[in-house]
Structure 1
């Protein structure tokens, strides 16, 4: 599994914590930035992560900003991306199992590091259920044109 990470200044600290988790899990990852605490624009980091996941360069992506919302909105503009903002383990599991989410968005100001790690672990280890859910995901893809 190959994962790509991205954050803005509001998510940089949580992104660092998630790198340690990925290393602990033995998962290969890349960091698309940002790597500073100066104010930056989240679409500048969400877009390249989403584009690389959509192109198949990475299997999954994780984006972090203050709330996860801005990153999610920006990522979901890229064709083929299903980015879910998650703040609990159940939603993380359902976003993969039912929606086949390929990018996870987290809010550093919403979830603490321990909960975020548990969410990411759940998200990364949950498989898409397929079956009736595949039909629904296909219908989402049709909306992209």
Structure 2
């Protein structure tokens, strides 16, 4: 499987650990950065990984930041992407089995490297069985409604501001 991986500077070391772990498997890894501990904004990396997944350049993605929350929120802003935060094996499996999440997110300040390897392995070793297809289809349908509308109109109707 071809997997995109990315992180911000806070999670660089864990990303490198996961990348090394995946290199010892049959998976091909495409690293979208960051490539050092120099500061980088996590949304930029999350958007690049999401784009690669969305365009079919890779099959799945793994994103890491301090908590995993920021990259998860960012990835989920990309149309067609379902990213899931998981710090345990069961949640990682369910992310794929129940939700067909194309991207797994992790927090480097939340999970240790050995546990992260187990979570990544669990996520990659299962495939969507369409058991929750009806629910996932509802998510896709709602997203398509918003994507097809003028974005500013949708946001204005929710009393949010757009810059």
* Same structural fold, with TM-score higher than 0.5 when normalized by the shorter chain: yes
TM-score (norm 2): 0.86
RCO higher in 1 or 2 (8 Å CA, sep ≥ 6)?
1
TM-score (norm 1): 0.97
Cα distance in 2 between the residues matched to 1:130 and 1:26: 25
Partner of 2:96: 96
Cα distance in 2 between the residues matched to 1:117 and 1:17: 8
The 5-angstrom pairing of residues 65-144 of structure 1 reads: 65-131=65-131, 133-144=132-143
Following TM superposition, the consecutive aligned residue runs of length 4 or more in structure 1 with deviations greater than 2 angstroms are none
Cα distance in 2 between the residues matched to 1:99 and 1:123: 12
> Post-superposition shift, 1:19?
1.0
Aligned residues: 144
> Post-superposition shift, 1:124?
0.1
Name stretches of at least 5 consecutive residues in structure 2 with no aligned partner: 145-163
Could you say what the CA RMSD is over the residues aligned between the two structures, in angstroms? Answer: 0.8
Cα distance in 2 between the residues matched to 1:21 and 1:116: 10
Q: Which has the larger radius of gyration?
A: 2
